[in-house]
Amino acid sequence: MTAHTAATAAPAVRTRTGGPRDEGPKIVEHVMGWTLVVVVAMLVVQLGLL
């Protein structure tokens, strides 16, 4: 193995870095996102910024 192929070879096992999982339920993510949108919109209206 040359230095070039050793530098470009992908590791066999990837380390988890705490990011989102691919196999998680996406519906929870969507519901929480829309809940945040609604809460921010209510806050904007209550403060009279709209």
Confidence of residue 22 (pLDDT cuts 50, 70, 90): low
Q: Do residues 50 and 44 touch, judged by C-beta distance below 8 A?
A: yes
Per-residue pLDDT of 3-21, as tens digits, reads 665 556 555 677 777 766 6
- How far apart CA 8 and CA 30 sit, in angstroms, is 37
Q: Where are the domains of the chain?
A: 26-50
Q: Which two tokens stand for residue 36?
A: 């945040």
Q: Give this prediction's pTM.
A: 0.51
